[in-house]
A and B are shown apart, each in its own frame.
Chain A
Amino acid sequence: NAGVTQTPKFRVLKTGQSMTLLCAQDMNHEYMYWYRQDPGMGLRLIHYSVGEGTTAKGEVPDGYNVSRLKKQNFLLGLESAAPSQTSVYFCATTNGLGGYNTGELFFGEGSRLTVL
């Protein structure tokens, strides 16, 4: 099992360009998340999804859009990249809290984005 896979792992963009980060999971988890992590800081939640076809805003949603058309995929889009969006982006999944679920988040390896 691959777990949580993020593509691409590295990308350099010019200001104003657009791009999409893909998060794919093979664990059949309901919940998926996109975080960003700036140097020396903790993770901040951008958007999340509680199931196929749903999305919701996190702490820092401005400048990003997301889609969850298929249960296994969660896409993060930047329509017009800005230098302030230079960061490492992490995708995470969980199957929820309750019953036999521990609420454990499984993270991808991260995608490093640089906007010039």
Chain B
Amino acid sequence: QKEVEQNSGPLSVPEGAIASLNCTYSDRGSQSFFWYRQYSGKSPELIMSIYSNGDKEDGRFTAQLNKASQYVSLLIRDSQPSDSATYLCAVNDSNYQLIWGAGTKLIIKP
């Protein structure tokens, strides 16, 4: 069974520090990887996508992908209280269906 694993947290990070969120996946054929943010009581929203090995930066967010290790991460620099949310890792399978992790709850402490 295809799986995406995330630490459920909560991960507590001081304001201004770097938050590091991690995700592993089981399907070696996966080619597309996504990070969604979900605020409490709201729907998920896409914040980062990554398709090739290495780093992809977008503002304070950096996604990192290592296909050999089947590992994808999200770094949030200069963490703000507004970054407090649950972060969902999602991976496309060979049928273009998204396989979802259960999410990591991030708490940014002022």
- Do A and B pair up? The answer is no
